[in-house]
Amino acid sequence: MPMEEHLDHLDSVMVALEGGTFLMGSDAREVVYVEDGEHPQRRVCVLPFSIDDIEATTGDWAQFAVATGYATDAERFNQSFVFDLLVSPALNATITQAVAEAPWWLPVDGASWHAPEGPGTTYTGRSNFPAQHVSANDADAFCRWAGKRVPTEAEWEFAARGGRANKRYPWGDSNLDLYIRANTFEGIFPHAPQVRDGYLGPAPSRSYPPNRYGLFNMAGNLWEWTSTIEPGPAGNAQRVKKGGSFMCHRSHCFRYRNSARVRNTADSSSSNTGVRCAKDGARGKASKCTAEPIDQ
């Protein structure tokens, strides 16, 4: 299918941002994961760009798969990680290994974007939910097919902050009523959920109020890949992810904050990882990168 035949049918809407200088990262030592690299805070210039208002949906991914025949890393490996509370008891009983440091992660044979919780599950009826089990390699391929690209970490954080300097979350600093602001884990992690918002796993892509730029789910729901590459253990290259996920909880993964970040290898996939695409903006305008950081 030629690209021009499908672009108008993708679920996302691109939001054009003028860019500028902003304060990236955080110096709030009481909540920052220094080992993740989100400290120190620094001034960063972002050129004009556009970014999708939502993460790529399973409906989008189905179009992509039909048009290209692309097989994701999860499909090629025939395995991806799934949060154990989302795995059926019958399937769970057949799995004999887990991540030692995080036993709530189960390696599930056959889990992928079209079988998010493994064999016997389907994305049918969830076409407006974000596509899961997306690796960085998959993210690159999807965005390229859509005529876009994966955003840099700086672009992603600039967009998430929505023009608010020194704020912890896309909506500001308040922790009150978090369950109506973002899709994160409620209750006692990992096995005593409250699910007041109705979603133990991912929520539909336009759930919860958008930030001031009109972008949805910049905190929680799914981790989102960026194009930023950094050295990992033993010097292996890793890609930065932003935004946190439905599994994040202050007690163990307080990473649904603007400055938070994690890194993974480009072929890693899981039930809480997706992508939001970006695109270069008009570069003919005067740069705003000499200006002071954007207002609160």
187-206 pLDDT, tens digit each? 999 999 999 999 999 999 99
* Calpha distance 275→242 (Å, rounded): 10
Position 290 scores a pLDDT of 64
Does CATH place domain 3-280 in 3.30.470.20?
Answer: no
- Give the span between the Cα atoms of 264 and 138, in whole angstroms: 13
| Paired tokens of 96 | 């004999």
Q: What is the pLDDT of residues 106-156, one digit of tens each?
A: 999 999 999 999 999 999 999 999 999 999 999 999 999 999 999 999 999
Res. 49: pLDDT tops 80 = yes
Asked if 132 and 272 count as a contact pair (C-beta separation under 8 A), the reply is yes
For residue 5, give every residue at least 6 positions away whose Cβ sits within 8 Å of its Cβ, in sequence order, or none: none
Contact 264, 30 (CB under 8 A): no
The maximal CA–CA distance of the chain, rounded, in angstroms, is 60
Question: CA separation (Å) from 69 to 100, 117, 150?
Answer: 35, 22, 20
Instruction: Give me the pLDDT at residue 2, please.
Output: 33
User: Is cis: bond before 116, omega within 30 of 0?
Assistant: no
Helices (H), the chain: 58-68, 73-77, 89-92, 136-145, 153-161
What is the per-residue burial (b if ≥16 Cβ within 10 Å, else e) of 82-105? Answer: bbbbbbeeebbeeeeeeeeeeebb
